[in-house]
């Protein structure tokens, strides 16, 4: 999971600092925040040996593990 650092400088009377924000790829990519419906079950088998109940479930997992790939449609 790649993370990007953002720095926000703050200048307040008697106080100076910078806030650091960590924003992950998962937070920026809309495919990583999908809500997967259980009514559209079309299982597929991925390279991690797991069966994902839908392409949506697979896409969410791929956000966590970018090297993941589909090996075939159907259960593993």
Determine the longest span between alpha carbons in the chain, in angstroms.
63
Q: For the domain bounded by 3-73, which CATH number is listed?
A: 3.30.60.30
Q: Identify the pLDDT of residue 28.
A: 53
pTM beyond 0.85: the answer is no
29 in Cβ contact with 63 (< 8 Å): yes
Beta pairing, strands 70-73 & 51-52 = unpaired
Beta pairing, strands 15-24 & 3-12 = antiparallel
Angle at 20 (CA atoms; ends 15, 25), nearest 5 degrees:
165
pLDDT by residue (tens digit) across 19-64?
Answer: 444 444 444 566 577 788 877 789 999 999 999 999 999 998 999 8
56 in Cβ contact with 34 (< 8 Å): yes
Spans of all domains in the chain: 3-73
């Amino acid at each position: 999971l790649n993370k990007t650092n953002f720095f926000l400088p703050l200048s307040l009377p008697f106080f100076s600092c910078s806030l650091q924000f960590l924003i992950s790829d998962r937070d920026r990519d809309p495919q990583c925040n999908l809500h997967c419906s259980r009514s559209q079950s079309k299982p597929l088998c991925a390279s991690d040996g797991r069966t994902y109940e839908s392409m949506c479930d697979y896409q969410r997992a791929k956000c966590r593990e970018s090297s993941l790939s589909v090996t075939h449609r159907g259960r593993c």
